[in-house]
Structure 1
Amino acid sequence: MINNIKNVLNWLLLLGSTLVVCLILGIILWDIFSKGFSSISWQFISQLPTEGMTKGGILPAIVGTVLLTFITTLFSVPFGVACALYLNEYAQPSLLTNIIRASIRNLAGIPSIIYGLFGLALFVQTLRLGTSVLSAGLTLGLLSLPYIITTTEEALKRIPNSMREATLALGVTQFETIKDVVLPQALPGILTGVILTMSRAAGETAPILFTGVAFYINGITTSVNKEFMALPYHLYMLSTQHQSIESVRPLAYGTAAVLILLVFMLNIIAFYIRFKHKSQA
């Protein structure tokens, strides 16, 4: 009887906590979309900003964010997945591997502004890449690496060792086992972690603050060696630094709504990929 009461109370506590979080999230989303929905239109998405950012659209910021996310993915995903494969499939348990794993988890907790300063010192100044999309993308790639490594390694750990042992018993090499058996089975978890990490990186402001983002560019950035506009920094400037904050506030809410929709679409893609691969398994 007492155990049943405890279970009910625990269930009510968890349910109440979930409802509180959902309520707060709903209030935030309602505030943003109710104030920014009127600004969202095809012109707002497809045009360049005009008249000191008080009119026009946010197309350069959207293109810059997409290009930045692409460079981040191109840099961080291969290295992150390869590192996780080594740690989980090849490295033997030792003090060194424990230190590496602890370091990776500690890197995940470092404030993003630190990554921005490191990117400024390494990519902009030391490697002389300048303030550009490439420098910002590489900086975000460094920030994303710990999350990709951790999520990939967790996905690999879910694959039973019996599957590896069965293929090795048939005379298959370890590399072929990983390529043909382990990776396909772990792919849904890996892709989900990668896409969720990229959606987080797309909303970061601090790492790109010193490495290449600009408040305004007359045109669309298509070169990786030039400065660019991005949605999170554009939102920050409209909300805090613009000379006519009140007049551009609807545009700021509209930009926030577009950024949330972009991140939401990436999350939907992640869940769809996971569901599709689970249904095929």
Structure 2
Amino acid sequence: MPMLAKLTIRGARGWTTSPSIPILSCKWSSPICAACKELNIVAPALEDLEVTHCFFYDRSQPFAQDHSHSPGNTSWMDPYDPSSHPSWRDETSSILRPFFFIVYGDDSTTHNQSCLCLLRRFKVIEHLILTLTYLWDMDDYHYVMEDMTVLPDIMILHLNILANKHAFGASAFHVLRMCSGIRKLMLAFLAPTVVEAQTTCPPGCICGEHQNWETEHLLLNQLKEVEITRMRGSEHEVTFVKQLFIWGTALEKMTVFFDESVTENVAKELSQVLRSFARPEIRMEIHTYRAMLKMMYIPED
């Protein structure tokens, strides 16, 4: 099939592509019952690669990949080990989505090691999709953001925050400090993994130990646009957005989409608060969840 441009494989235990097939897109996902043993791709024209939970449940076998350059769009939601995983020759990626990073963990956190190893493969990433995760119960863990010591040059940062109602400002600040040259920030607040009646984390939680970020200096003088989705209006969220206005000295536009849980009255109050932070030259667009759905699914006349 010399004209094959896209190939999707699910549930296989091993696969090798022919060098003659100009694969442009490969999406590989494997369920728990069929953990991948080996994946070997020889595809010089590869442009899109997505690997999700193929090696998560069985990491005893190596993964090998051999092609002339790294794929432009890479989503690697799996453990990553440079000794047995691909060593891409290019140092630039168009879109990179590594494994999520756990903010409070221990030295053996596989997710963090995989995330950092993959990030070190590149010097320039046009669009980085990074997820910071707070576990619901963090009593037996410690703050590990210091393990992230450097990031590639990034133009667009898509930062997902799974805070589980914890204070997340310190970890997000840590990331922004290492990529202060970004042009656009896409900030998404993910829904809590555990539905609880309480609206904040337990009193005395360790997430409150690193709050000096609010007084530290940060200059995002290349940041032109900020897009925030699923904002619920918590104190932590409002405080962080306020700081973005201070750090983004060249900010031109901010767009906010409220979460579906935000009522119309609350949305109006939050809108007034957010607009009070903005300088006159900043263009503010604030939308409710229903308005976002309307824009997504109802075409304009």
Q: Which has the higher helix share?
A: 1
- Largest Rg, 1 or 2: 1
Q: Which has the higher contact order (CA 8 A, sep 6+)?
A: 1
TM over 0.5: no
* TM-score (normalizing by structure 1): 0.24
* TM-score (normalizing by structure 2): 0.23
Q: Which has the higher strand share?
A: 2
